A and B are shown apart, each in its own frame.
Chain A
Amino acid sequence: MTTTTDITSLDTPAPERRRGWRDVVLDFCRRRPLGAIGAAVVVLMILVAVLATLIAPYDPLAIDFAAMLAAPSTEHWLGTDAYGRDVLSRIIYGSQTALIVGFGAAFVGSTLGAVLGVASAYFGGRIDLVVQRFMDIFISFPLIILALAMVAILGNTLPNLIMAMTVPMIPRCALVIRSSALSIREMPYVDAARAAGFSHARIILRHMLPNVMAPYLIMLTSFLGQAILLEASLSFLGLGVQEPIAAWGLMLRGAAVEFAETAPWMALFPGLAISLAVFAFNLFGDSLRDALDPKLRTG
């Protein structure tokens, strides 16, 4: 009698070694050196921010009028600003601000945007239509204008700043994720989940969201770069972080116009820091997008 357990399928051996994280990272470094460089710079930046207290030679808030506007020297490697504060230390601590505000806004913005995008695609119909129109409205404002408006209305605290940066990011992310989610929604495994009587929340979070990882990561990395730039811009305009917190944009604000000729290092180094950070994130993000591209279709 033929039993159900005709173990006819025993033959496929398990893959010898599953591709772990280490393999993925090494492969990425080998195949996309530019992206790897970008990633290295990002990691460096994170390390600098985390170890700021250990590596910064001076207290970033320490005012020293005696050393005001000093050019780069052995004592102050990158010089000092108009208050005699060490530029290098301020840049090191500025990375903390950039990362907290930047990462914070980017993570929250892209994650909320992803959930919104997936939910919108999942429900479809009128809900999708209404959500999309709302997103369109928000997107029609350039990132910085909306952030400016929100800070102006809500006030200048750090949480408000993060929120002001998060809000414009949500619809942009939602729209991109939504288009990937639309194709996932048609997948039989989503139908199987519906047929199994799972709740909407479970399907969205457990079945659909993990399958939009590729576009999500890409949006996230691109937002990181933009967030840093946005924070810098807002601070530069005086609507971001306030004195005396060390923030790159803020450093530019004081330095750019007034001391452009007399103390160019004041603007140069923060400017370089911003450029480097954004560039690194973009490099990494671009390479990530290329690496994930075939799987953008959630293969």
Chain B
Amino acid sequence: MSAQRGENERLIAKRWEGEVAEGDVLLEVRNLVKHFPVGGGLFGGPAAVVKAVDGVSFAIRRGETLGLVGESGCGKTTTGRCILLLERPTSGEVIFEGRDLMTLSPAEIRVVRRKIQVIFQDPYSSLNPRMTVGQMLDEPMAVHAIVPERKARHDRVRELLAVVGLLPSMAGRYPHELSGGQRQRVGIARALATEPSLIICDEPVSALDVSIQAQIITLLETLQEQFGLTYLFVAHDLSVVRHISDRVAVMYLGKMAELTDRATLYAEPLHPYTQALLSAVPIPDPEVEANRQRTVLGGEVPSALRPPPGCVFHPRCPIAIDDCKAAVPECREVRPAHRVACIRV
């Protein structure tokens, strides 16, 4: 039985060999900007603009996991949505497998959508309550004609369910008949159905119980190895991001504050916001907590309607100087593979 399963999985993996080789850049985002107009009438212009994402650039290599962290309002979810083309970026480039998604025709976009998939946060609203699990997994394969014959699709649905750790009999169930963790697994299976190369994971475990979180994280890691997937892991839980990512980007109020590999970010964070963020995360060990040096960040996150001038972090920054107000700091490389947006570094 498990030999058969292993064989199936090998077959699936073989089919998924993409054009971009392991280690090459799969996705590159350049100067991504997304502004949301707010208020205003039919004839007047918008009263104000929410600068959700305001000039963000990064690249992800095939097979790696880039963690995107930040607190609410930082723009990480909007960045993910722009890559998925669920939002149309105001400006900037989203280059996937060498082609700028902004320049594609609708037909080409439809093809590209097979390769970029998404896993959402809330297992309770990310599945259509009126469709069975089987129908949900069958649909993308049917629509994209990945597997044209119905019988073959039926088998493939069972394969997918097995791969994410669900019983094949669950294909006949409706979402409300499954637990949160199981629903999230269905969401993952749905993302895998089109054989994507890139999966945007938008807070995939935040809404789950702690014990189930670990299951899902482990599942995601295993699937990545097995199928050569690339993840953009958007989350606010730093411990989880640290565990699963190869590189981490920290965002604040629409801008990127720091971007480097996982180990460096946690061992030597350079941006004051990153330092404060790491300091704020409680560690499940009273001994460690009692002896920790912490910097508690004062103040509140400013509104994205009226971001502070210059460096958006300067009002709360413990090391801010006058120059910080003057100009927006570029997120530049201060050490090899370590970018920081701070003039004091």
Contacts and interface: CB of A to CB of B under 8 A. Distances in A.
* A touches B in complex, CB < 8 A: yes
Interface of A: 2-10, 12, 14-15, 129, 187-189, 191-198, 202, 206-207, 210-211, 213, 298-299
Given A4-B9, A191-B86, A197 B178 contact: no
Given A15-B177, A192-B118, 9 more contacts: A4-B223, A9-B179, A188-B121, A191-B86, A192-B190, A193-B128, A195-B84, A196-B143, A197-B144
A5 B118 contact: no
Nearest to A12: B179
Nearest to B219: A4
Contacts, number: 103
Nearest to B169: A14
A5 B165 contact: yes
B169 A5 contact: no
A9 B120 CA distance: 19
Contact of A188 (B110, B120, B219, B222): B120
A207 B135 CA distance: 11
Contacts of B185: 9
Contacts of B218: 2, 6
B222 A12 contact: no
Given A187-B125, A189-B125, A197 B165 contact: no
A6 B110 CA distance: 34
Nearest to A133: B42
Interface residues of B, number: 52
Contact of A211 (B130, B164, B167, B187): B130
A257 B284 CA distance: 86
Interface string B309-341: 000000000000000000000000000000000
Interface in B79-134: 81, 84-86, 109-111, 113-114, 116-118, 120-122, 125-130
A15 B163 CA distance: 23
Contacts of A191: 81, 84, 86, 118, 120
A207 B125 CA distance: 13
Contacts of A298: 129
Interface in B136-177: 139-140, 143-144, 162-167, 169, 173, 177
Interface string B272-290: 0000000000000000000
Contacts of A211: 128-130
B72 interface: no
A207 B190 CA distance: 15
B5 interface: yes
Contact of A4 (B42, B121, B144, B226): B226
B113 A196 contact: yes
A185 to B, nearest CB: 12
A195 B130 contact: no
A292 to B, nearest CB: 14
6 contacts: A4-B9, A9-B182, A196-B143, A196-B194, A197-B113, A197-B114
A210 B117 CA distance: 24
